Chain A
């Protein structure tokens, strides 16, 4: 296969004729450098010959020009001799040096001889040097005999310059290459239909091209979408809440005692802001905390502080949202879920973040119980790709019974994945929720770590663009699902 340049050169030069690189460059419209390179390739392919010649160029020296104009010293001496001048007179006339050169050459050529101190003309001969210089001046150096040239060079009347000239001769053009070869397909080629008579240049398909990067969804967001899809498929309604909540919805409504350690400043981001709360629900919650109200519970005892319930917090769990939704939608059946950001007052390390996503689902219905909660959990985890699920007793302040589901992960064993339970009556009754509420939640970051094989949660929220670029949209090596 010939390159387009090789082909172009082959086509612009006549086969068998020798061209200089200059000529070839002019004929092909290429630069001399390019011609030279292309010819080398053609030579390797046996399609061209390269010939290097040494060219000599002669020119008159300053002295040569002077002799041609004013006459050679031997000519001058001979003329004066013919006028009968004596040697000392000649020397006086043209200078001793020139007279010496003239007599020297006349004697050498056998034109004069010195007899008894006198110069005597013996024989007349033509001066070939003058003719030679004239030829040189006309650029006809090739007419001058090598012997004479040597003499002129020796007499420093002529100088010589040598240089190389490269000649190219195309030997043949292979038949198959005569067709035009297309590299970039252009609108012009399409318009003219030139491609019909042309071949396409075959590229080296093994050479990698420049890397480009796709715009895509964050891998963690993809997992969140998957969870949302599962909930929606199971008939759950998606709900949404503000990050800022009252302590009432975040804690009190969930029967978290006001002196519970989880409510400490240590673990919760409080705001120095309060909102007014006062309605029947708040009243009922207050009594439930103090003495159980109508729930049949003993309550926590002590005095419940409205002020503490009115303080705003960055929600510590999405249960603040699900319970609020149930309080507003207290008639069964309700199925709702929420996947959203929660905040904890924790120092950042590989497994602890001050904010992270939590997933939470609730079912409010009459004829459901603990067994249905386990069924729901098993189904959910199965859809998430965990085939083995088991249940252990757990403890959460607002559920009874409580359960900690665990899933089996190859290589890790049983991994605890969230918590679940049935909302206590101390939670549901004061808010007028009409029946049992099955609830479960999990820190979805842990799920992401399992799925993405990550060891550092920070990577999700402080993204390294390199990591995002190289994390595939779908993994063929994904374990589980």
Chain B
């Protein structure tokens, strides 16, 4: 989530309220304050509110929330004679373009910085790293209308931003710093999006780089903004950018986008309307509200209300990209009303609580094991082939779950057995007093499904087979199970000192003296005995979704 830095003097001046009030109310608008300094404040806004990624946007929201300015803010879009023709070649690569003209804006360092920052943040959030949406900002005086938005082949050449020489599209993708970072978006394509002006010169190669010739400088007064992509995310981004520049004092002019089959006029800063019923508001929030209260809350959140009675006709500001559904507006009513003013009430829903049998069996196992003097441990279920099988003298279990992009060699699969985790743990605890008796009752995963296992280990200088057999006997007795023992060939144990636990002729576990080679693999210098019981084989562990 982007963290934006705002300057206090600017913020206080533009909002028209003092620092203390802003600091107190800001979190109740929906954000996390990351850091407060003498001159600046760092704020993390939620990813659904890209309109708050600039000081203009924050000021707009705060002026409403702090009752400086109420309700919907109108944005004027002047007529203009600017045309962009969209050619069908580009439909396959990046079919949509929207744009606007911004006039009479004073381009200070501050504005350039703010523009670059919001562009970056919008690229990341709405644009998903420029994949879905990319923005280009140009000096209007260098752009010769009408424009064509088309697709070219890789030999098409122009001077890209920050370079002095002509480069082909192919070269840009390979050598230009931005080309290298974003070429993945155009991977596999043989045609590339390009905005070309009436002099047949490129002004932008979306979503990679602008042309050097339209670079915005301190002498720039008028801007041309293009936003390309696939769907209405481009409109959201353009609206956020346009309203922000309008708030800065820029005059917005419309651009005609001509597709082969239709014409769109952008930007559209009219603001859509949505109707929300009062009873739905009250039902979702769980309490009754006066119409006036609802209107006040909506106004604080900068919505317009045109009709209100049993339902509200609500005008959504054009920069609000997050309003997908009526409930998004109802949440804003709650925020505008104030979360702190809502009196919490315990829900009337009466139901009877029920434990899951998985955990009932687990709890019973814990009671037995602690009764036998064993200490409960918890370990990670992520592990690796070496610890789980090789060092245990066991064969790889093909039923195990392997993750696709492990972060470390230590965590490549989910355990199919707990005993190896316990032996590993004993190895890490060699410096503590013996005897050590530990157990874990928890999940393993085989064949995509969780199973409940109980495993235990005991180590001290005289740990032996009869000790572990006694423990297994005690556990099976307490679980009220008839059980038998058969020979087993589990390499983790010493031959002749190992057994398979069977319940109703099903294999349900193993026990024995751990093989010295395993101990050597873990530098354990005392005998270890252990067992592992598959409780899922024995018991019905209930519904596992």
Chain A residues with a Cβ under 8 A of chain B:
211, 213-218, 220-221, 225, 228, 231-244, 259, 261, 265, 269-273, 292, 295-299, 301-302, 312, 314, 321, 324-325, 328, 332-335, 341, 343, 345-348, 353-355, 363, 365, 367-379, 390-395, 397, 400-403, 422, 424-426, 436, 438, 460-466, 468-469
Contact = CB atoms under 8 A, between A and B. Distances in A.
Which secondary structure characterizes the binding site on chain B? loop
Contacts of A463: 377-379, 425
Given A355-B381, A372-B346, A375-B345, A301 B404 contact: no
Given A240-B545, A424-B327, A463-B379, 9 more contacts: A215-B371, A238-B353, A240-B543, A243-B381, A333-B350, A348-B408, A354-B411, A373-B347, A392-B339
B325 A426 contact: yes
Contact of A215 (B330, B350, B370, B379): B370
30 contacts: A213-B375, A215-B437, A216-B375, A217-B370, A231-B353, A232-B354, A236-B351, A239-B356, A240-B450, A240-B542, A244-B401, A272-B402, A295-B325, A301-B233, A335-B351, A341-B443, A369-B283, A369-B286, A375-B346, A375-B347, A391-B339, A393-B29, A395-B46, A401-B327, A401-B331, A422-B327, A460-B378, A465-B436, A466-B432, A468-B377
B324 interface: yes
B353 A424 contact: no
Contacts of A321: 545
B450 A369 contact: no
A221 B380 CA distance: 14
Contact of A368 (B49, B349, B375): B349
Contacts of A460: 378
A377 B344 contact: yes
Interface string B394-409: 0000000111110110
Contacts of A314: 401, 403, 414
B294 to A, nearest CB: 14
B449 interface: yes
B378 A370 contact: no
A295 B367 CA distance: 49
A301 B47 CA distance: 18
A217 B335 contact: no
B301 to A, nearest CB: 11
Looking at A259, A460, A463, the one whose CB has the most chain B CB atoms below 10 A away is: A463
Interface in B357-393: 358-359, 363, 366, 369-382
Contact of A242 (B49, B286, B448): B448
B331 A272 contact: no
A65 to B, nearest CB: 63
B428 to A, nearest CB: 7
Nearest to A299: B324
B230 to A, nearest CB: 7
A244 B445 contact: yes
A170 B36 CA distance: 88
Interface of B: 27-30, 46-49, 128, 131-132, 230-233, 282-287, 324-328, 330-331, 334-335, 339-340, 342-356, 358-359, 363, 366, 369-382, 401-405, 407-408, 411, 414, 425, 428-429, 431-433, 436-438, 443, 445, 448-450, 541-545
B340 A391 contact: yes
A102 to B, nearest CB: 79
Nearest to A395: B46
Contacts of B414: 243, 314
Given A238-B355, A393-B28, A215 B373 contact: yes
Looking at B132, B285, B403, the one whose CB has the most chain A CB atoms below 10 A away is: B403
Contacts of A295: 325
Given A243-B450, A302-B230, A363 B131 contact: no
B463 to A, nearest CB: 15
A393 B376 contact: no
A241 B331 contact: no
Looking at A214, A343, A401, A424, the one whose CB has the most chain B CB atoms below 10 A away is: A401
Contacts of B371: 215
Contact of B347 (A301, A376, A468): A376
Given A239-B545, A370-B285, A377-B344, A218 B404 contact: no
